[in-house]
Amino acid sequence: MPLLPATIVFDLDGTLVDTAPDLCAALNHALGALGRPPVPAGDVRHMVGHGARKLLERGLAASGAMTPDLVEAGVPHFLSHYAAHIADGSRPYPGVEAALDALAAAGSRVAICTNKPERLSRALVTALGWDGRFAANLGFDSVPQPKPHPDHLFATIAAAGGDRADTVFVGDSITDTTTARAAGIPVIAVSFGFSDRPVAELGADRIIDHYDALLPTLRQLVA
């Protein structure tokens, strides 16, 4: 059987976990504190992936005028609510845990490279009972230049004890594929995440529709 990559790095929101319910609730809490109407949950899915400030920018723009001052005023409301409700509705995508178990059994290391703040990424991992699964977990504030800068991915690989030459990245958005391309690392896109455009337009090396396809697809990339 073909080998698997030694290191597989995953994005978090929209890739490993459907976090949209809790991100939507936190966004609408912040918008409410700013006197704005809520944004529909379906719209929020396509606003995620660039951090809390960008999510607030998009939420404010969807509900009226957006200004930097409003964004800064909303961030504390968003973060405090999200931290307190980080896994109320968030759930792993089907097949994720079985795929992670299979990768561990095969001797591959796995890591997270996310534009969430690191403390919230770690809190979500803990809330899902995933402590000990990941060799590294780097958020946007873990590095000087977060995704789509390739250094974020490079730093994650290094923190996991991996080698860039034997790594594959898995994500759901143009941010993830842009990061991987800039890093010169193969990338798999999931079709069920939070992308703001059709997944076929992301420029990934491979696309998967379910985590049952992850290991076979990784073996294809290695071969």
pLDDT in tens, 67-88: 999 999 999 999 999 999 999 9
Asked if the structure places residue 196 within a domain, the reply is yes
User: Is the CB of residue 215 less than 8 Å from the CB of residue 4?
Assistant: yes
Structural domain containing residue 171 = 7-19+90-222
Please, what is the end-to-end C-alpha distance for the chain in angstroms? 10
Helices (H), ranges, the chain: 20-33, 41-44, 52-63, 68-84, 96-105, 118-127, 150-159, 174-183, 214-222
Instruction: Please tell me the distance from the alpha carbon of residue 20 to that of residue 31, in angstroms, as a whole number.
Output: 16
Residues 49, 115, single domain; the answer is no
Residues 98, 169, single domain; the answer is yes
pLDDT at 65: 87
Residues 100, 120, single domain; the answer is yes
Which CATH number covers residue 15? 3.40.50.1000
β partners of residue 168: 8
pLDDT at 96: 98
Instruction: Please tell me the distance from the alpha carbon of residue 72 to that of residue 58, in angstroms, as a whole number.
Output: 13
Looking at 11, 13, 18, 172, which residue is catalytic?
11
Residues 100, 159, single domain; the answer is yes
pLDDT at 2: 61
pLDDT at 196: 85
The model's pTM is 0.94
Residues 41, 125, single domain; the answer is no
Instruction: Please tell me the distance from the alpha carbon of residue 155 to that of residue 222, in angstroms, as a whole number.
Output: 22
Could you say which residues of the chain have pLDDT below 50?
Answer: none
Residue 11 falls in the annotated catalytic set: yes
